[in-house]
Amino acid sequence: MKIGIFYLLLLLPVLLSSANKIDSNNILVISNKAEDMMMSNHDSAAYYFDLGLKLCKSKGDILNEINLLLNYSRYNSTKGHYEVAFKNCKDANKLSEEYGITKYDFEIKMYTGLVYYNMGLYLEGLELLIDAQKLYLPKSTSYYKKAELDYYTGMAYIDIGDLNNGLDYLNSSISISLLNNDSLSAYKSYSLFTLVFQNPDTLNKYFDICENILKKHPELDYQKVVLNVNKAMNYIDQGNLKESRTLYIEGIHLCEKRGFDEYQVYLYNNFAYQLMYEKSYDSVIYYLDKASRIAFEIKNLAAQAETYDSYSDYYTKIGDYKNALKYSKLYIEKSNEFREQQKMKETRFLSAVFENEKKENAILKQQNEINKLWLYFIITIAFLLIVVGMTVYFRQRWALSRSKLETSEKI
């Protein structure tokens, strides 16, 4: 598969001169490649998205360009590139309006809501997701997108504390997916249930469902790692450290094999805490060092702060309070740096939103002014027609009266 993609890219100049059908197929291949890279290689994912958009523009393939922009928005939104994700949606909306394409209105609203949600603006995001629900048209929207929307809506409701509505939407997402024999789409909601419910029997039920789905899709290593970690944490709560250790080690091996860097930091950090519980202190520092190294390599401030906090807890456990205090101070410094970074992201995002609304209001105001001018023009034309009509009418009456008078005088 990879060799085929690289061969495709080498032949791209030749393929660009081929028929539109071939170009369209290539765009789909590139789009799929971008999505495949989303979890493991962020730079490559962005490269393929940009490549696909460039190809769309060169061939004037508006539908695929809009589709790519929306998928790119989903990617940027989940990776914390909120300003870029918002721009992706805005560009998709601009193309839709320019070419009179309404079939993507539903998705544009949905992914814009997802940007707000991932930004931490849950209420605003939920409002947009509900607006997207109102735009849903069964005949023009795939079941998969409706299931995706219900999943996001349910997730947003749960995050604002409305568990009942959240579960309703998640169950709706599952029902739609299973009705179309798509257990993979149902997986996301099932996996979220493993974080929502606390009853052991209920949890085991949903863990079993998720595992059975993943057995049918062995290529989904990332989802398997996440499920393993959720299950390991559940075993820790139950005091079953042996089972949780097995799941953590399996997850670590998969992460290292596939290069899931961001999740790898989280996994190493969590496993270090289990080792603290087991009093395996010699191994703790090994995994914390690995977590810290990757956190700095990928420049993730949140992960760096969490690692410092873990070092502080570790040194407290072994009675080295000097180092515990040192890392506690580093944790505070790095946390403050992370908060400042988040504030800057939020400021840039809100500025982009404000500028967009400002432009939209200016366009709306301009359109209103044009509408007013047209109204005045129509009123003026109508008035002139009335004046002309009245003039003709009275002239005809005057001519008729004069004619009658002349006839009367002759008689």
State pLDDT tens for residues 341-393: 878 877 777 776 766 555 555 444 555 555 555 555 566 666 566 656 666 55
Fold of domain 26-141: 1.25.40
Distance CA 169, CA 190 (A): 12
Residue 177 has pLDDT above 80, yes or no: yes
Cα 315–316–319 angle (5° rounding)? Answer: 85
Distance CA 213, CA 220 (A): 10
209-224 per-position pLDDT tens digit: 999 999 999 888 999 9
Question: Is the full-model pTM beyond 0.85?
Answer: no
**Region for residue 144 given its phi and psi (left: phi exceeds 0; alpha: psi -120 to 50; beta: otherwise):** alpha
Distance CA 244, CA 216 (A): 23
Banded pLDDT at 246 (limits 50, 70, 90): very high
Which residues contact residue 61 at a Cβ distance below 8 angstroms, ignoring those fewer than 6 apart? 20, 23, 24, 27, 55
Cβ atoms < 10 Å from Cβ of 337: 14
pLDDT for 193 equals: 96
Residue 406 has pLDDT above 60, yes or no: no
280-332 per-position pLDDT tens digit: 998 999 999 999 999 999 999 999 999 999 999 999 999 999 999 999 999 99
**Region for residue 60 given its phi and psi (left: phi exceeds 0; alpha: psi -120 to 50; beta: otherwise):** left
Distance CA 252, CA 404 (A): 110
pLDDT for 9 equals: 39
pLDDT for 357 equals: 58
Rounded to an integer, the average pLDDT of 105-110 is: 95
Percentages (nearest 5) of helix, strand, coil residues in the chain: 85, 0, 15
What is the DSSP code string of 233-300?
A: HHHHHTT-HHHHHHHHHHHHHHHHHHT-HHHHHHHHHHHHHHHHHTT-HHHHHHHHHHHHHHHHHTT-
Domain with CATH 1.25.40.10 in the chain: 26-141, 235-349
If you classify domain 235-349 with CATH, what class do you get? mainly alpha
Banded pLDDT at 21 (limits 50, 70, 90): very low
Distance CA 155, CA 278 (A): 34
- What SS3 class is residue 205? helix
Rounded to an integer, the average pLDDT of 1-30 is: 47
